[in-house]
Amino acid sequence: MSLIKIINFPTIGDERGSLIAMEAKDQIPFNIKRVYFIFDTQKNVSRGFHAHKDHQQVAVCVSGKCRMTLDDGKKSEEVWLDSPNKGIFIDKHIWREMHDFSDDCVLLVLANENYSESDYIRSYDQFLKITNQ
C-alpha cells in the first residue's frame, strides 16, 4: 500500500480566476484545529525530519513546489507537491522530509491538533524503534 495518500481538491474557476476550498466535511479526514504555512525557505534548505506520535496533517503547496518524502519505518516514498489541487494526507507515525523548495513555495499545512512539541518524534532512531516494535 502506498504511503502517498493524495487528496485532489477541485478548482472552482470562473472568468475571474480560481478558488480552492478545503473543508473538513469533504476533503480533509479530520477536524482542522491548526493551520500553518512555510514560505521564504532559503536555498538548499530541507525541513521536516520528524514524525508525530498522534497528530495528523494534510500538506499542499498553494504556490510553487517542493519534494516531500514519507517514510513509515519500512519504506520511503517521495512525491512532488507541485499543484494547489494536490494535497497529501500524513498520518501519525510517518517520518516526513521536505526538500527542493522553489523560491515561490508556500507550503500550507492543516493539522488536527494544536502545536505540541511533546507530540514530535525528532530522532530517526527513536522513530524506527517505535515503528518496528
Which residues contribute to the site for ligand TYD (CB under 6 A)? 34, 36, 38, 47-48, 50, 115
| Closest to ligand TYD by CB, 9 or 96 | 96
| Closest to ligand TYD by CB, 56 or 133 | 56
| Closest to ligand TYD by CB, 11 or 115 | 115
Question: In this structure, what is the dihedral angle of CA atoms 115, 2, 108, 121, given to the nearest 10 degrees?
Answer: 30
For residues 108 and 94, give the distance between their C-alpha atoms in angstroms, rounded to a whole number. 18
Task: Please report how close the Cβ of residue 72 comes to ligand TYD at its closest, in angstroms.
Answer: 18
Q: 61-95 in b/e burial notation, b at 16+ Cβ within 10 A?
A: bbebbbebbbbbbeeeeebebeebebbbbbeebbb
Cell of 118: 511533546
Task: Please report how close the Cβ of residue 5 comes to ligand TYD at its closest, in angstroms.
Answer: 19
Residues annotated catalytic, as ranges: 50
Task: Please report how close the Cβ of residue 10 comes to ligand TYD at its closest, in angstroms.
Answer: 27
